[in-house]
A and B are shown apart, each in its own frame.
Chain A
């Protein structure tokens, strides 16, 4: 027996859930468009080629200022990620010098188990090299950024499992530079006007430009060499860094929910059979 009021009650409670995200909109930043990501939704998976391209953008451009301290070289060959071969990863790691007090001269070539080396020795050095702004670490950055939708659209996020606010923001930010700044906007010396950055004055100069990176063999010709494409690829790669087990998690979730649905169905029958003897 389900009463109308029970339904209303349930609706109100589900709205409690829906009230979660701070309606905290940064004033003056336009709403960020939701992009299509291969890893969105319950059946989402990473596109291996895209992660490899994104890694190339990260390695050649971003990593000169941004660290990724939680990422180890070995992660790059793990299933569900860019899936480079172990040989490739070993060769890649060996290109880097790792600080190791036990090594001769304090440095040694990297191995697969090493973490991604940071471009600066500490935060202060990073600030000094970047006009006072600290380039944030990339390890979980894709989950440390988000987007907001106006009421009532954010309610649907709970039913679509929207978790790509970070990549959406990163993509928007990388495509959001306006030079010269729009009329009336004040941008301090050394800052750059960005439509999507809160306050609009971003310390990072536009890092990407069309044709800046030539994707490695196999991709040539099929993938456009544009800022839009680079930013999609690097945002996907950053999402992978933040959530390296996303694919396995979603696969497990599919099995768990399928199991729960069957189990719930069986328990319902058990309950019905049992209670059929009782007038209630």
Chain B
């Protein structure tokens, strides 16, 4: 399996939100909560992310309510999210040198 490149912020948060299955609008609200109101994801960004990750097999359709579709993260998506989380943790750990320098 090729090494996974850095994820976009949008993809990272969509996958985080989909740890609990949900539909588009529910995901947007959850992303806002998860980011402490820092990230207000546009519907275009969200829909683009869902399409792409659905194609990549990171998320899967679990059901439909009218026009709304429900998604859940797949095992591959979870793996990718964990890999990204690990990468971000390493970045933060590497950054501790900054705190040491500033005393």
Bind each other: no
Q: Which B positions have Cβ atoms within 8 angstroms of A?
A: none
Q: Which A positions have Cβ atoms within 8 angstroms of B?
A: none
